[in-house]
Amino acid sequence: MELKDFIERIKAEKEALEKVSLEDALSEVKARLRADELIGKAAKKADDLKAIEVELFGKKGLVSLLRKRIPEVAEENRKAVGRALNELAEIYTRAFKDVSDGLVRAEKEGRLASEKIDVTMPGRRPALGHAHPLATITKEVVAIFEGMGFSVAEGPEVELDYYNFETLNMPKDHPARDMQDTFYVSDEVVLRTHTSPVQIRVMKSRKPPVQVVAPGKVYRCDADVSHTPMFHQVEGFMVDKGINFGHLKGVLETFIGQMFGVGTATRFRPSFFPFTEPSAEVDIQCVICGGDGCRVCKNTGWLEILGAGMVDPEVFRSVGYDPEEYTGFAFGMGIERIAMLKYGIDDIRLFYENDQRFIRQF
């Protein structure tokens, strides 16, 4: 019997019982509505029992309807009728509980069977994380210079104006400060605009010869497809007796060959930096078009990758080095710039959006 058929049958019984006496109603219900058989046939799942419970024990259910009619019975017969009604209610209650327990048990067994785990099956290997492309490039850049004898140094990201500008030949009224859109914490404290302050801190604490690279985060008020307010640089410098521009050229060409491939063409263009003299910007042959000219290199065939130069004598004086005895070179490069050229990425913001589809490619 379907659930809806059983419900309709109970409703029909309730209507029919209103037309006979309570005594007759009790006997007819016992004869025609065998709960122990019908409930089990009608209820296929635990939720079905809720509908049956309403029709049997609810406010307007069969048992409730019969109880309300007890006042119709003659006083001398009420005790017997009440006992019979209680027996009928007990039959329904017991049948209801038996079916309910059976359904709950069956559903639990079915769920256990469907959800069981075969421990003999091989497990699913969890996805492993990996280094961010910027971390990978930083590690690669530093490893190349370590292979040439450079050591690694780090410095604070919240820096004194003294180290970030003044000791790098940029006093407070120097126009070169306008080249760097600086985040000022106070008049004397800034978020460093380059990793060059590490150069000053190292030279103040060590005597030549010094050969150091300094990777780290830097900050500037700038944001577009090729700039972000926070980005990464690697500063490098070498100081000793007899260091000249040829040494700088040799170090940088070795680095470019290892990073972009042996034979990658380079060129040095004159430029200006307050802390180096002479200064140069270093270009490499466009890695996209191979020097033929394209949108990325603006049809020049060249791409700028870093700035470099010989350390200005004023910088040596600020750290206590004798510029008559020592010379040195310095260079600085943006990690994002190197990564964009190496991987052919045209929007720097992709590095910071944390899109797994992008990061998984590296």
Q: Please list the pLDDT of the chain residue by residue as tens digits (362 residues).
A: 565 666 676 677 666 666 667 776 666 665 555 554 556 555 666 666 677 777 777 777 777 777 777 777 777 777 777 777 777 777 777 777 777 777 778 778 888 888 777 778 887 888 777 888 999 999 999 999 999 999 999 999 999 999 988 899 888 877 766 666 788 898 889 999 899 999 999 999 999 999 999 999 999 887 665 567 888 999 999 999 999 999 999 999 999 999 988 888 899 999 998 899 999 999 998 887 877 888 777 888 888 899 999 999 999 999 999 999 999 999 999 999 899 888 888 788 888 888 888 888 88
- Same domain? For 159 and 72 the reply is no
- Is residue 127 one of the residues assigned to a domain? no
The last residue of a domain, from among 115, 145, 180: 115
Six token digits for residue 261? 């491939």
Distance CA 290, CA 306 (A): 19
Contact 193, 220 (CB under 8 A): yes
| CB hemisphere CA count around 130 (13 angstroms) | 10
- Is residue 123 one of the residues assigned to a domain? no
- Same domain? For 86 and 140 the reply is no
Hey, CA dihedral for 337, 342, 348, 353, is it positive or negative? negative
- Is residue 121 one of the residues assigned to a domain? no
- Is residue 126 one of the residues assigned to a domain? no
- Same domain? For 25 and 54 the reply is yes
- Same domain? For 250 and 302 the reply is yes
- Same domain? For 179 and 80 the reply is no
Please name the amino acid found at residue 185.
V
Instruction: Scan for tokens 């709950």, then name that residue.
Output: 104
Q: Which of 326, 308, 305, 304 is nearest to 317 (CA)?
A: 326
pLDDT at 238: 96
- Same domain? For 53 and 182 the reply is no
- Same domain? For 30 and 157 the reply is no
Range of the domain at 110: 3-115
Hey, CA dihedral for 202, 165, 309, 277, is it positive or negative? negative
- Is residue 124 one of the residues assigned to a domain? no
Q: Which residues pair with 328 in a beta bridge?
A: 239
The last residue of a domain, from among 115, 148, 172: 115
Six token digits for residue 231? 């980005």
- Same domain? For 229 and 294 the reply is yes
290: domain CATH number?
Answer: 3.30.930.10
Q: What are phi and psi of 80, to 5 degrees?
A: -70, -40
Please name the amino acid found at residue 360.
R
pLDDT at 177: 67
* Strands laid side by side in the 327-334 sheet: 151-152, 210-219, 230-240, 327-334, 302-311, 276-285, 266-273
- Same domain? For 293 and 327 the reply is yes
Task: Give the largest CA-CA distance in the chain.
Answer: 131
Q: How many domains does the chain have?
A: 2
pLDDT at 311: 94
